[in-house]
Amino acid sequence: MLETGRRTQRAYARLLWQLLTSDVLLLALLAIVGLGCVALALLPQAPGDAIVEPTAYSRWEILAYERSGDWFAMLREAGLFRVEQALWWRTALALGIGALALRLADGLATWFSARHAAALTRRYRVALGLAPLDTWAERLRQQRWRILHHSSEELVADRAPYANGFAALFHLGLLLAAVGLLGNALLGWQVNERVVSSNAPLELPGGARLHLAENVGDLAVRLVITPGREVFVMQAGQERTQRGVWLKVHRLQTGYRVSASDASERPLSVRVSTLGTSSDIVVVLLDENETERFVAVPEAKLGLVLQRGNPPELADRLQVLGLPKGEVITDTLVPDQLTLSQAKLRFQPLRTVTFSAHHRPLAGLVWIGGLLALLGAAGMLVQPPQQVVMRHRHGWTEVCAAGWRARSAIAPLLHEPLL
């Protein structure tokens, strides 16, 4: 009874092992992961938070609806617009990593263990009167089979030395790619159409910070992401990837922090336009869409017109108007400070960048894994992994074969038609 129980346990363990390392399970998981990868490539992915990034979310919604049409609601419910955050995709990746690790271990065990190969190889034929196993061993060697085990009663062979190596390379590549994809989903981050200004670092997810460093010209900026000090020197409309960090600059805007005070250095209220709210300091931004902005200093009865340089390479200009008549008091390049009888005006240069970025810390691992998987798949097409086991008892020879096209490879040697 005890021996029977042990055999039953071994049978269940073998059945479970075969299930976890089966081609059906792997193909199902790869299909789910592949669906997510296709969605990542073809469908615009939603920003992280509609409240934090309202402009980016609105633009995404319009673009996503244009691409998907009547399928928009269904695709959104399926999570295909947020693949990396979708539980089904992360679960498939985690299960795939486990299945690939087991298959890799199984393949290596098959490669190095003749007994393991014999245990997992299924029966193909039982024939009477075949040649002795010594003769079969020689014939298999001539066909470039590797003899793993050879005795008068049992012969175990496989395609060696490269066939199982290609299979191991294929599974190792898929394993690395899956680890990279899951790592990117868990450890990566993404921001859309955020604004960073000079002297005001922007906090990014994952503890990173983005700084707008010194200018490198009127049309370019230097952005620095810490820690790691990834430096991007870019112009508007450019995008670039460095060490897993992708960054795109949407807009560059120059501007000023404008403040005013009277002769006794008492702050005067200023406001953008005659309808805006008053404040001690206002921020005025200039770009290709808004080349001119008006700032009022009501207590001093002054109006300030800031004009963007035209072309942008030229310096910005300032017109000071007397209110309410609007006569021009001065017309000059924007200074750091301007003292008039009515007030002392200060202009602190300011530059802002509107950008999108995402970080994929294991992107390199995904590419390496994909390349290894392609090399392994190509090798498996040329020389697929195959195993053959022959057992000779009482005049009968049992022939077992496993692996892609293994039966087709062994059939001609048996001088029998393939059933």
Tell me the per-residue pLDDT of 291-327, one tens digit each, with 9 for 90 and over.
888 999 999 999 999 998 877 667 789 999 998 888 9
Q: pLDDT grade, residue 117 (50/70/90)?
A: low
Tell me the per-residue pLDDT of 323-332, one tens digit each, with 9 for 90 and over.
888 899 999 9
SS3 string, the chain, reads CHHHHHHHHHHHHHHHHHHHCCHHHHHHHHHHHHHHHHHHHHCCCCCCCCCCCHHHHHHHHHHHHHHHHHHHHHHHHCCCCCHHHCHHHHHHHHHHHHHHHHHHHHHHHHHHCHHHHHHHCCEEEEEECCCCHHHHHHHHHHCCEEEEEECCCEEEEEECCCHHHHHHHHHHHHHHHHHHHHHHHHHCEEEEEEEEECCECEECHHHCEEEECCCCCCCEEEEEEECCCEEEEEECCCEEEECCEEEEEEEEEEEEEEEEECCCCCEECEEECCCCCCECEEEEEECCCCCEEEEEEHHHCEEEEEECCCCCCCCCEEEEEECCCCEEEEEEECCCEEECCCCEEEEEEEEEEEEEEEECCCHHHHHHHHHHHHHHHHHHHHCCCEEEEEEEECCEEEEEEEECCHHHHHHHHHCCCCC
Res. 119: pLDDT tops 70:
no
Res. 416: pLDDT tops 80:
no
Res. 376: pLDDT tops 90:
yes
Q: What is the pLDDT at residue 418?
A: 35
User: What's the rounded mean pLDDT across residues 81-103?
Assistant: 93
Q: How confident is the prediction for the chain on average, in pLDDT?
A: 83
